A and B are shown apart, each in its own frame.
Chain A
Amino acid sequence: MKRVVASGVVGLARVLAGGNVRRIGFTPDERQRIYFANHTSHLDFVIVWSALPKRLRVLTRPVAARDYWANGVRRYLALNVFNAVLVDRVRSEATTPNPLDILLDGLGERHSLIIFPEGTRGDGTHLGAFKSGLYRLGQARPDVELVPVYIDNLNRVLPKGEFAPVPMIASVSFGAPMHVGDGEEKADFLDRARNAILELRQW
């Protein structure tokens, strides 16, 4: 059943937004990775997930906002189909676990993650500043490759504030994997990561 739903979701994503998948200095394999992408739509992780080969999808967990994905069909899809890692957008209490620990836990020994370091959805033209989570993850797990991903045109499929999607050709570009350098400052690394996505824009 899960597999049928998963194929259905991938099929639907392709009809609505399927387009070009470009790999620029990136080869998909079973190594553990953190894919970090620009964030323009609720469909972002679905389209990145769909752009990966089937055998890698079961190993790749999107990180999604708990408030949007916690109820009804979305909850079923998030937990059972995508095996998503749900995090709170606003950290409420000091007692709730640190989001970084939730992500490290989600990564485990064999999974990969899809994250959106801007934190919130942009308007599709401007790439916002990155939050520090990507840097901390990279420091905590130097063995995991960080892969920049640029999603183009998906904001037109489902713009912020709209409910119904419109079909459009979106493209997903995967760039060359990177790591946090020895002694690299947080700001330097986040700049480097952000530029890696901006460079993919030119393809």
Chain B
Amino acid sequence: MVMNFLHDRQTLYLFGGVLAVLVVATIVGQLLRWRIGPNDVIANLNARIRAWWIMSAVFAVSLATGGIGSVILFAILSFFALREFVTLTPTRPADHAALFWVFFVITPLQYYLVATKWYGLFAVLIPVHAFLFNPSRIVIAGDPASCLERSAKIQWGLMVCVYAVSHAPALLMLNIPGFEGKNARLLFFLVVIVQLSDVLQYVWGKLLGRHKIAPVISPSKTWEGFVGGVLTATALGGALWWATPFNPWQATGMAFAITMMGFAGGLTMSAIKRDRGVKDWGATIEGHGGVLDRIDSICFAAPIFFHMTRYFFTP
């Protein structure tokens, strides 16, 4: 697998591209700091760029170690995202045992199913088995107070942070004729388009943003930023078609679906944060808030991208 990766010229091009973008971003960030001097926005920008370097390096290592590295990376992301989610969700002492199962049995099992490519159980473990198990375990603990609400919140966290996210490394289990051994590029495509779309929406919003989409939920999201970001990220996705099993139009369509779902994910998770009265899910990554702040778009985009690819491109 390691050799595959190094010998796969197109994947190396993709990583070369990311490296070039990061180098340019770092130079621009340092130039801005040098020209304009100490400034909160620029300090935050530079912190974000530093975090991007680290995240890209981790991602590169996980891809280079083959499928298992990516599965482990996303399992860890799920674990910490769920930890952030449950922290901000009111639970009662009677939920303790159910939560223990959620963190230490269901989450690892879901990723074990990804690693062993057991699609049948992977698809139903959380929406069926965990869905029925959790409320039962909660009720056995004997506290009926708002028991529907507690089960629903735990299930929702599990669906978003674990089930949805696990569809990203699950891209590696798809058998696409003529694309064998290159599935890591699908994962790369998903992550790059989601992140580009986030960044470009932010940039277009700062440049042209006038009309807010949902000012109460996320004051920084504007129609100008949304349209500009979605269009440029979709176009860039189309331009990356050569690295995917898709033709240029298919790649454009996939990128469009990814950006729309990413946007929906970001907005929905913002609404939940706002309801809980916080700005960030955590403070794990300098300049980026918590893990869930970084992967909220992937949560929504990964399952849709996975199923579109599975439905249209696998026999």
Taken together as a complex, chains A and B put the C-alpha atoms of A105 and B98 apart, in Å, by: 44
Any A CB within 8 A of the CB of B274: no
Give the number of chain A interface residues (Cβ < 8 Å).
12
Any B CB within 8 A of the CB of A181: no
Q: Specify which chain B residues have a CB less than 8 angstroms from the CB of A20 in the assembled complex.
A: 283
Give the number of chain B interface residues (Cβ < 8 Å).
15
Pick the contact of B282 from A19, A153, A164 — CB < 8 Å?
Answer: A19
Pick the contact of B100 from A19, A153, A164, A169 — CB < 8 Å?
Answer: A164
Contact A153 B87, beta carbon cutoff 8 Å:
yes
Contact A169 B87, beta carbon cutoff 8 Å:
yes
- The digit string for B195-229, where 1 denotes a CB below 8 A from any CB of A, is 00000000000000000000000000000000000
Contact B282 A166, beta carbon cutoff 8 Å:
no
Any A CB within 8 A of the CB of B279: no
Q: Specify which chain B residues have a CB less than 8 angstroms from the CB of A159 in the assembled complex.
A: 93, 96
Taken together as a complex, chains A and B put the C-alpha atoms of A203 and B282 apart, in Å, by: 15
Contact B282 A168, beta carbon cutoff 8 Å:
no
Within 8 A of B (CB), among A129-182: 153, 156, 159, 162, 164-169
- The digit string for B79-109, where 1 denotes a CB below 8 A from any CB of A, is 1001110110001010010011001100000
Contact A167 B282, beta carbon cutoff 8 Å:
no
Closest to A153 in B: B87
Q: Specify which chain B residues have a CB less than 8 angstroms from the CB of A162 in the assembled complex.
A: 93, 96
Closest to B99 in A: A166
Q: Specify which chain A residues have a CB less than 8 angstroms from the CB of B91 in the assembled complex.
A: 156
Q: Is the interface of A mostly helix, strand, loop or mixed?
A: loop
Closest to B104 in A: A164
Closest to B96 in A: A162
Q: Specify which chain B residues have a CB less than 8 angstroms from the CB of A19 in the assembled complex.
A: 87, 282-283
Contact A167 B103, beta carbon cutoff 8 Å:
yes
Q: With contacts A20-B283, A153-B87 known, is A167 near B79, CB below 8 A? A: yes
Taken together as a complex, chains A and B put the C-alpha atoms of A20 and B282 apart, in Å, by: 8
Taken together as a complex, chains A and B put the C-alpha atoms of A168 and B93 apart, in Å, by: 13
Q: With contacts A19-B282, A164-B100 known, is A169 near B93, CB below 8 A? A: no
- Report B284 CB to chain A, min CB distance, Å: 9
Closest to A17 in B: B83
Taken together as a complex, chains A and B put the C-alpha atoms of A165 and B103 apart, in Å, by: 10
Taken together as a complex, chains A and B put the C-alpha atoms of A59 and B93 apart, in Å, by: 35
Taken together as a complex, chains A and B put the C-alpha atoms of A167 and B101 apart, in Å, by: 11
- Report B108 CB to chain A, min CB distance, Å: 13
Q: Specify which chain A residues have a CB less than 8 angstroms from the CB of B87 in the assembled complex.
A: 19, 153, 156, 168-169
Q: Specify which chain A residues have a CB less than 8 angstroms from the CB of B82 in the assembled complex.
A: 167
Contact B283 A166, beta carbon cutoff 8 Å:
no
Taken together as a complex, chains A and B put the C-alpha atoms of A167 and B86 apart, in Å, by: 9
Closest to A167 in B: B83
Q: Specify which chain A residues have a CB less than 8 angstroms from the CB of B282 in the assembled complex.
A: 19, 169
Contact A168 B100, beta carbon cutoff 8 Å:
no
Q: List 6 A–B pairs whose Cβ atoms lie within 8 Å, in order of A's numbering.
A: A164-B100, A166-B96, A167-B82, A167-B86, A168-B83, A169-B83
Task: Spell out A's residues near B (CB within 8 Å).
Answer: 19-20, 153, 156, 159, 162, 164-169
